[in-house]
Amino acid sequence: MKTSLTTSAAGKTRLRLAVRGAVQGVGFRPFVFRLATGLQLAGWVNNSPQGVFIEVEGPRAMLEKFLLRLEAEKPPRSFIQSLEASWLDVADYTDFEIRESETGGGKTALVLPDIATCPDCLREILDPANRRYRYPFTNCTNCGPRFSIVELLPYDRANTSMKSFTMCPQCQAEYDDPRDRRFHAQPNACLVCGPRLELWQGRTGFQPVSDSNKNRDRRDACPTNNDALLAAAQGICEGKIVAVKGIGGFQLIVDARDEAAVKRLRERKQREEKPFALMFPSLESVKAECEVSPLEERLLRSAECPIVLLRRLSTLNSQLSTSIAPGNPHLGAMLPYTPLHHLLLAELGFPVVATSGNLSDEPICTDERDALERLHDVADDFLVHNRPIVRHVDDSIVRIMLDRELVLRRARGYAPLPISLSSQLSTFNSQPVLAVGAHLKNTVALSVGNQVFLSQHIGDLETEQANHAFRRVIADFEKLYEAKPQVIAADLHPDYLSTTYALERRAPARLESTALNQAETVLDVPLIVRVQHHIAHVLSCMAENELSPPALGVSWDGTGYGTDGTIWGGEFFLVTDKTVERAAHLRPFRLPGGERAVKEPRRVALGLLYENFGDSIFERKDLAPVAAFSKTELAASKTMLAKQLNSPVTTSMGRLFDAIASLVNLRQQMRFEGQAAMELEFALDGVNTDEHYNLSPVTGHPSLVLDWSPMIEAILSDVQKGVATGRISAKFHNALAEAVVAVAERIGERRVVLSGGCFQNRYLTERTVRRLQAEGFQPYWHQRVPPNDGGIALGQIAAAIRGQHEIVNHKS
Ligand SMILES: [Zn+2]
Ligand SMILES: [Zn+2]
């Protein structure tokens, strides 16, 4: 059931929109004024070098109406290339005004994200009479590649990867004509002069044909494009895996209805159970498989065109392979966003799996030769083109939660749009700060003035490939924004690759001193600040909600290095102007086997049970986690726990989820990160109860402690009584929401910030937000920045600016 969100006491909230695109000089501001006043909303609209900014304030339902009508009824000559929404606290506007245009101030050049094909271009490629009929690289000033082709600023064709394509006279004429939709459209191209497709055969004997192509008569280009496309489509219909070079990297595509093909993709990609995203030929075909609300529909069709997590309809009538997202009530769905995808999907007429073109956990391939090398064991065919991809940009993932957007992976369509820091933060800051992010789901960020440029998703820094991508993105950002960071913010974890990188840059660099003409030693970056992982989560959420202290931060995730050297993850912080204090945490327990426990919920459960019951637990073969071990394994774990060997101490909430999943025998070993917690969430689907276990804060030193012991005993008793897993899961989730309320009451702070990977969990987030509101607290959660580790870099920047960190000064 869809539930609506109650907002502040007065029932009012504030919506800020940053609108970019063809929205200036087309009557957009008067239109916004009419729309807002017609809906009796207060606020303002203005023009700035960065786009049109709108703030409207009023009842939630009216603001949603405003948002939907803004897109649906916008002036005919306008086109929205990017729209980012933030829901903020009310500012108490009394009327609606068109404000003076901002001129000076933020002169930072903006690079726009890649934009999904606009309706005009789509019409052209489907019109047999048009000269761009079926041309897969059609674009205009309203759509097409941006971030993925820019090499340098300013954004001119000579500074993009389109520079090697000389425009034909017709394209040049469009490009030069101020009345044309392609006036100064930097990637402008057509069949005659632009990039072309080729189909390379991978597994069955590859022949690179591109070199001979250079000399080929240009008239041949037209059939080449179409033939390659049709051959790729044919392959997909036959169950082949086709690697497609898209806008920001390769995707692996197979027929989503073909069970054997999807299974083959899983085997070859070494991705056993993690859900695959789908691309559908049309909105109607999405609706045949999923529930789609008006906000979700807007998102699917937006210029950002992300993967949207949608609730599946009954799988009884589904035509999709069961291996796409086993046991998952949601599907990641997207619509075609380039002419190439539109043509391919129109040819196929059925949904396809469209997953990143990489081996599990590596960054996506962007270059066809690299793709051929890395993916030759995965893909049967390669549909490639000769427009170089300057930087990798994955598909973004967004879901609607509590009736607003929540970005889970920020990449295509969003990166590298900046997050503006509130004036309170930015006044302290004049020097550029680089934040190098976390270890998993890594992103980096660079602050320039009051803008924070958050990078596209880079991925887990586990492989050499990812390490390269990480360094490449940092170099890229510093070059693009001509910013030399004076401060680098890094995680507290001493072994993170990102931390090592930051410390390397503190090392002396040689610089020639012109005055004395002798070598002088200087530091590349004078200051490194180390920020605790979970504090960064909270500050990230506060920054994007423009919230100043004080606030109580709830930071729940799998793993982060604590200031005491243990593994944190079930943390509460009281953030004030000057300090961040650890206000509460989960009762600690040990993880027998260390790293291995992260992949084996049974180990986590064993650690938890041992903490509570001691040695006797090893005799309890009636308990699912104990029974999940062999005799030898169990003996080894016993030694580890008894002697405290390779059994690190943790307060991680992510691990508590794993332990519960193991206790109810839902999952003992994981195939991908977060699987047990996801399955525990899915298990409560359809259960409707307010019952909860007891997870109350008890006084500890120096922080409150959430003692899970009574809850674990109650769960064991419920399991014994045969209570359904879904009900146990619901009572567990509810207990967590109650724990947040109880800690907030004990601490006495009204504003509560929810961050960390656990708050990707929809039930947990919704329940906690509602319970907090019901008890008179004001909850804040993520919107444009991921709650997971993809948002850490923003929090690190906020910490560096606020001075809430441990400073590593250079030795002078
Ligand atoms: Zn267009
Ligand atoms: Zn042309």
Distance 222 CA to ligand 2 centre (A): 12
Q: How far apart are CA 764 and CA 443, in angstroms?
A: 25
Task: Report which bound ligand comes closest to the CA of 191.
Answer: 2
Q: What was the pLDDT predicted at 228?
A: 95
Per DSSP, 758 falls in state G
Rg, the chain, Cα only: 27
Distance 189 CA to ligand 1 centre (A): 12
| Burial tier of 100 (Cβ tally within 10 Å: 0-12, 13-18, 19+) | exposed
Sequence-ordered list of residues with C-beta below 8 angstroms from that of 784, at least 6 positions apart, any chain: 84, 85, 86, 405, 407, 410, 414, 419, 544
Q: How far apart are CA 426 and CA 801, in angstroms?
A: 8
716, containing H or E segment: helix 709-721
Distance 115 CA to ligand 1 centre (A): 9
Per DSSP, 317 falls in state G
Q: What was the pLDDT predicted at 506?
A: 80
Query: How large a percentage of the chain has pLDDT more than 90?
Result: 76
Distance 190 CA to ligand 2 centre (A): 4
Q: How far apart are CA 88 and CA 546, in angstroms?
A: 8
Distance 574 CA to ligand 1 centre (A): 48
Q: What was the pLDDT predicted at 807?
A: 56
Distance 52 CA to ligand 1 centre (A): 20
Q: How far apart are CA 747 and CA 732, in angstroms?
A: 23
Q: How confident is the model at residue 607 (pLDDT cuts 50, 70, 90)?
A: very high
Task: Report which bound ligand comes closest to the CA of 180.
Answer: 1
Question: For residue 106, is pLDDT > 70?
Answer: no
Distance 78 CA to ligand 1 centre (A): 12
Q: How far apart are CA 479 and CA 150, in angstroms?
A: 12
Task: Report which bound ligand comes closest to the CA of 138.
Answer: 1
Residue 549 and residue 525 in contact, taking contact as beta carbons nearer than 8 Å: no
Q: How confident is the model at residue 468 (pLDDT cuts 50, 70, 90)?
A: very high
Q: What is the dihedral of CA 734, 574, 648, 664, to 10 degrees?
A: 0
User: Which of 11-20, 333-342, 504-513 has the highest average model confidence (pLDDT)?
Assistant: 333-342
What percent of the chain is helix, strand and coil (3-state, nearest 5)? 35, 25, 45
Q: What is the mean pLDDT of residues 435-449?
A: 94
pTM, rounded to two decimals: 0.91
Strands (E) across 608-731 are located at: 649-650, 697-699, 704-706
Distance 195 CA to ligand 2 centre (A): 10
Distance 301 CA to ligand 1 centre (A): 14
Q: How far apart are CA 171 and CA 429, in angstroms?
A: 45
Distance 769 CA to ligand 1 centre (A): 40
Q: Which two tokens stand for residue 550?
A: 């004080």
Task: Report which bound ligand comes closest to the CA of 188.
Answer: 2
Q: What was the pLDDT predicted at 680?
A: 97
Task: Report which bound ligand comes closest to the CA of 79.
Answer: 1
Question: For residue 642, is pLDDT > 70?
Answer: yes
Q: What was the pLDDT predicted at 272?
A: 85
Q: How far apart are CA 402 and CA 356, in angstroms?
A: 28
Q: Provide the mean pLDDT of the chain.
A: 90
328-357 confidence digits (pLDDT tens)? 999 999 999 999 999 999 999 999 999 999
Q: What is the mean pLDDT of residues 469-490?
A: 93
Q: What was the pLDDT predicted at 35?
A: 95
Q: At CA 418, angle to CA 108 and CA 400, rounded to 5?
A: 160
Distance 246 CA to ligand 2 centre (A): 20
Distance 183 CA to ligand 2 centre (A): 13
Question: For residue 515, is pLDDT > 50?
Answer: no
Distance 172 CA to ligand 2 centre (A): 7
Q: Which residues pair with 243 in a beta bridge?
A: 252, 382
Distance 169 CA to ligand 2 centre (A): 7
Question: For residue 3, is pLDDT > 80?
Answer: no
Distance 143 CA to ligand 1 centre (A): 4
68-103 confidence digits (pLDDT tens)? 999 899 887 788 888 989 999 999 999 999 887 765
Distance 191 CA to ligand 2 centre (A): 6
Q: How far apart are CA 141 and CA 499, in angstroms?
A: 40
Per DSSP, 312 falls in state B
Q: What is the mean pLDDT of residues 519-533?
A: 75
**Three-state SS sequence of 240-284:** CCEEEECCCCEEEEEECCCHHHHHHHHHHHCCCCCCCEEECCCHH
Q: Which residues pair with 681 in a beta bridge?
A: none
> 23 versus 476: which is more confidently predicted?
476
Q: What was the pLDDT predicted at 216?
A: 39
Task: Report which bound ligand comes closest to the CA of 171.
Answer: 2
Distance 550 CA to ligand 1 centre (A): 46
Q: Which two tokens stand for residue 790?
A: 């993809």
| Burial tier of 807 (Cβ tally within 10 Å: 0-12, 13-18, 19+) | exposed
Name the 3-class secondary structure at 637. Answer: helix
394-414 confidence digits (pLDDT tens)? 999 999 999 999 999 999 999
What's the Cα-to-Cα distance from 207 to each of 198, 199, 224, 707, rounded to whole Å?
11, 10, 15, 63
**Three-state SS sequence of 78-127:** CEEEEEEEEEECCCCCCCEEECCCCCCCCCCCCCCCCECCCHHHHHHHCC
Q: How far apart are CA 44 and CA 53, in angstroms?
A: 8
Other Cβ atoms less than 10 A from the Cβ of 727: the count is 15
Task: Report which bound ligand comes closest to the CA of 303.
Answer: 1
Q: How confident is the model at residue 509 (pLDDT cuts 50, 70, 90)?
A: low
Residue 171 and residue 190 in contact, taking contact as beta carbons nearer than 8 Å: yes
Q: How far apart are CA 410 and CA 420, in angstroms?
A: 16
Distance 138 CA to ligand 2 centre (A): 10
Give yes or no for a cis peptide into 550 (omega within 30° of 0).
yes
What's the Cα-to-Cα distance from 327 to each of 279, 331, 541, 762, rounded to whole Å?
20, 11, 31, 16
Distance 142 CA to ligand 2 centre (A): 18
Distance 59 CA to ligand 1 centre (A): 35
Task: Report which bound ligand comes closest to the CA of 120.
Answer: 1
Q: How far apart are CA 393 and CA 248, in angstroms?
A: 4
Provide long-range contacts, Cβ within 8 A and 24+ apart, for 287-290.
288/313, 288/319, 289/313, 289/318, 289/319, 289/320, 289/331, 289/333, 289/351, 290/331, 290/333
Q: What is the mean pLDDT of residues 704-722?
A: 97
Task: Report which bound ligand comes closest to the CA of 124.
Answer: 1
Q: Which two tokens stand for residue 600?
A: 């084996």
Residue 139 and residue 117 in contact, taking contact as beta carbons nearer than 8 Å: yes
Whose tokens are 């929401």? That residue is: 737
Distance 181 CA to ligand 1 centre (A): 8
405, containing H or E segment: strand 404-409
Distance 256 CA to ligand 1 centre (A): 28
Q: How confident is the model at residue 214 (pLDDT cuts 50, 70, 90)?
A: very low
Distance 123 CA to ligand 1 centre (A): 9
Per DSSP, 310 falls in state E
Q: What was the pLDDT predicted at 681?
A: 97
Whose tokens are 């086993």? That residue is: 326
Q: What is the mean pLDDT of residues 478-495?
A: 91
Give ion ligand 1 contacts, CB < 5 A.
118, 121, 140, 142-143
Distance 170 CA to ligand 2 centre (A): 6
Distance 144 CA to ligand 1 centre (A): 7
Residue 346 and residue 377 in contact, taking contact as beta carbons nearer than 8 Å: no
Distance 141 CA to ligand 1 centre (A): 6
Distance 411 CA to ligand 2 centre (A): 30
339, containing H or E segment: helix 339-348
Distance 189 CA to ligand 2 centre (A): 5
List the one residue out of 515, 510, 567, 559 whose CA is nearest residue 537.
559
Q: How far apart are CA 86 and CA 544, in angstroms?
A: 8
Q: How confident is the model at residue 423 (pLDDT cuts 50, 70, 90)?
A: low
Q: At CA 580, angle to CA 578 and CA 583, rounded to 5?
A: 140
Distance 92 CA to ligand 2 centre (A): 53
Name the 3-class secondary structure at 423. Answer: helix
Q: What was the pLDDT predicted at 208?
A: 47
Distance 551 CA to ligand 2 centre (A): 57
Distance 165 CA to ligand 2 centre (A): 9
Distance 188 CA to ligand 2 centre (A): 7
List the one residue out of 288, 306, 242, 301 whose CA is nearest residue 119.
301
Task: Report which bound ligand comes closest to the CA of 195.
Answer: 2
Sequence-ordered list of residues with C-beta below 8 angstroms from that of 111, at least 6 positions apart, any chain: 146, 147, 150, 153, 155, 416, 480
Q: What is the mean pLDDT of residues 412-434?
A: 80
Distance 156 CA to ligand 2 centre (A): 17
Distance 304 CA to ligand 1 centre (A): 14
144-182 confidence digits (pLDDT tens)? 999 999 998 888 899 999 999 999 999 999 999 988 999
Task: Report which bound ligand comes closest to the CA of 116.
Answer: 1
185-213 confidence digits (pLDDT tens)? 999 999 999 999 999 987 655 544 444 44
Distance 672 CA to ligand 1 centre (A): 39
Distance 145 CA to ligand 1 centre (A): 10
Q: What was the pLDDT predicted at 804?
A: 63
Distance 182 CA to ligand 1 centre (A): 8
**According to DSSP H, which parts of 397-496 are helical?**
423-426, 464-480
Sequence-ordered list of residues with C-beta below 8 angstroms from that of 316, at least 6 positions apart, any chain: none
Poorest-pLDDT segment among 110-124, 421-435, 463-477, 684-698 = 421-435
Strands (E) across 578-623 are located at: 580-586, 589-590
Task: Report which bound ligand comes closest to the CA of 338.
Answer: 1
Q: What string of DSSP letters covers 681-696?
A: HHHTTT----------
